[in-house]
C-alpha cells in the first residue's frame, strides 16, 4: 500500500537504528569503565550483590591487617623471650661459677658484677613500678606500639578481631614477668640493691623458675602465632573468593563486549543505509501524484 502520513517501514527501521545506537553506547560504557554495573541495563540485584560483597571484603581486609599487626606483636615478644632465655642461661653459668670453691674473691666479684649487669638488662626490658619490682620505677624497653609486652593488663590479654563478625576474635594471654621467680630475680630493695646475687643461696632456684616462666611464655606466643598464621591464610582465601565473585558480577568481559560492539556498529550502519532506502521508496508516491 502506498501511503504518505504513516511510513511504517521507515519507522521500524528507525526504531532498529535507535536500538543499535543504544546497545552500542552501552557496550562503549562497559568497555571504557571496565564495569557492567554502570550501564543502564545493570540489574538492581547485581548492584546490591556487588555492594554487599565489597563491604564484606573491606571488613576482611581490616581483619587481615589486624592479624598481620598482631603477628608483628607476637614476633616482637618472641624475640625478647629468646633474649631473656640467653641472659638467664648465662646467669645460671655465673651462679655455678661463683659457687666454685677454687675461685678467689676477685673472681667472685667479677661474676657478681656481670650478674648484676644482666639483672639490669632484664629489669630494663621488663620494667615495672616500684610496687611491682621494688627500687625505682623502670620504664620497659620491651614494648610494642607503647604497650608493655611483659606486664599485666586489665583485660588479661590482647584481644584481636580476626573476622567479619563480632564473634571472630582471638585473645593472646598476658605474659607477666613482673611476678614470680623473674620478679625475685630483678627485684630490688628500697635502696636499689638487688635481692638476689650470684652467690646467694636462692639464685639458682630463681633462675630456674624464671627460665620456666620464659618457656611458658614462648609456648603461649608459639600457639598464638600458629593460630594467627592459619587465620591469615583463611582470610586471604576469603578475600580472593569475594574478589572473584565481585569480578563475576560487575567486571566487563572485554572480548565478548568488543565482539558485541562490532556487531552493534554493523547494525547501526546497515540500519542507517536501509532507512535511507526506505525514505527513497516514498518517491514513488510522488510520481503517482504528478501523473
pLDDT the model gives residue 175: 95
Residue 85, burial from CB neighbour count under 10 angstroms (0-12, 13-18, 19+): middle
Which stretch of 8-17, 83-92, 136-145 has the lowest confidence by average pLDDT? Answer: 8-17
Residue 55 is placed in which grid cell?
Answer: 563491604
Residue 291 is placed in which grid cell?
Answer: 501523473
pLDDT the model gives residue 1: 45
Residue 198 is placed in which grid cell?
Answer: 650470684
Residue 1, burial from CB neighbour count under 10 angstroms (0-12, 13-18, 19+): exposed
Strand partners, 128: 138
Asked if pLDDT for residue 17 goes beyond 70, the answer is no
Q: Which residues of 124-146 are buried (b: 16+ CB within 10 A; e: fewer)?
A: ebbbbeeebbbbeebebebbbee
Domain boundaries, the chain: 8-34+252-290, 63-249
Please give the share of the chain, as a percent, with pLDDT higher than 90: 45
Asked if pLDDT for residue 198 goes beyond 70, the answer is yes
pLDDT grade, residue 3 (50/70/90)? very low
Q: CA–CA separation, 23 vs 260, rounded Å?
A: 9
The SS3 of residue 242 is: helix
**How confident is the model over 44-54, as pLDDT tens digits?**
666 666 667 67
| Mean pLDDT value across residues 69-84 | 95
- How far lies 179's CA from each of 19, 61, 198, in Å? 80, 38, 20
Given the candidates 3.30.450.20, 3.30.360.10, 1.20.1330.10, 1.10.1200.10, the CATH classification of the domain at 63-249 is 1.20.1330.10
Q: What angle do CA 108, 111, 114 make, to 5 degrees?
A: 150
Instruction: Give the gyration radius of the chain's Cα atoms.
Output: 39
Strand partners, 104: none
N-terminal to C-terminal alpha carbon distance within the chain: 18
Q: How many other CB atoms are found less than 10 A from the CB of residue 163?
A: 19
Amino acid at each position: 500500500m502506498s501511503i504518505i502520513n504513516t511510513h511504517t517501514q521507515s519507522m521500524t527501521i528507525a526504531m532498529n537504528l535507535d536500538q543499535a545506537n543504544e546497545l552500542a553506547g552501552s557496550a562503549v560504557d562497559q568497555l571504557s569503565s571496565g564495569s557492567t554495573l554502570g550501564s543502564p541495563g545493570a540489574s538492581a540485584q547485581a548492584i546490591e550483590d556487588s555492594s554487599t560483597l565489597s563491604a564484606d571484603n573491606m571488613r576482611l581486609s581490616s581483619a587481615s591487617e589486624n592479624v598481620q599487626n598482631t603477628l608483628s606483636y607476637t614476633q616482637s615478644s618472641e624475640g625478647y623471650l629468646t633474649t631473656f632465655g640467653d641472659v638467664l642461661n648465662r646467669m645460671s653459668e655465673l651462679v655455678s661459677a661463683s659457687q666454685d670453691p677454687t675461685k678467689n674473691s676477685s673472681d667472685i666479684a667479677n661474676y657478681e658484677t656481670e650478674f648484676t649487669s644482666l639483672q639490669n638488662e632484664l629489669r630494663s626490658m621488663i620494667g615495672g613500678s616500684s610496687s611491682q619490682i621494688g627500687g625505682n620505677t623502670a620504664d620497659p624497653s620491651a614494648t610494642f606500639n607503647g604497650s608493655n609486652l611483659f606486664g599485666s593488663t586489665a583485660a588479661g590479654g590482647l584481644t584481636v578481631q580476626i573476622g567479619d563478625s563480632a564473634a571472630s576474635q582471638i585473645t593472646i594471654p598476658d605474659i607477666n614477668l613482673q611476678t614470680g621467680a623473674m620478679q625475685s630475680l630483678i627485684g630490688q630493695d628500697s635502696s636499689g640493691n638487688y635481692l638476689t646475687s650470684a652467690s646467694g643461696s636462692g639464685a639458682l632456684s630463681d633462675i630456674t623458675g624464671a627460665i620456666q616462666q620464659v618457656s611458658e611464655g614462648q609456648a603461649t606466643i608459639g600457639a598464638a602465632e600458629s593460630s594467627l598464621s592459619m587465620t591469615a591464610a583463611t582470610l586471604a582465601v576469603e578475600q580472593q573468593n569475594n574478589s572473584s565473585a565481585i569480578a563475576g558480577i560487575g567486571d566487563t568481559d572485554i572480548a565478548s563486549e568488543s565482539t558485541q560492539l562490532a556487531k552493534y556498529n554493523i547494525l547501526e550502519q546497515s540500519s542507517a543505509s536501509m532507512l535511507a532506502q526506505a525514505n527513497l521508496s516514498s518517491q514513488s508516491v510522488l510520481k503517482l501524484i504528478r501523473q
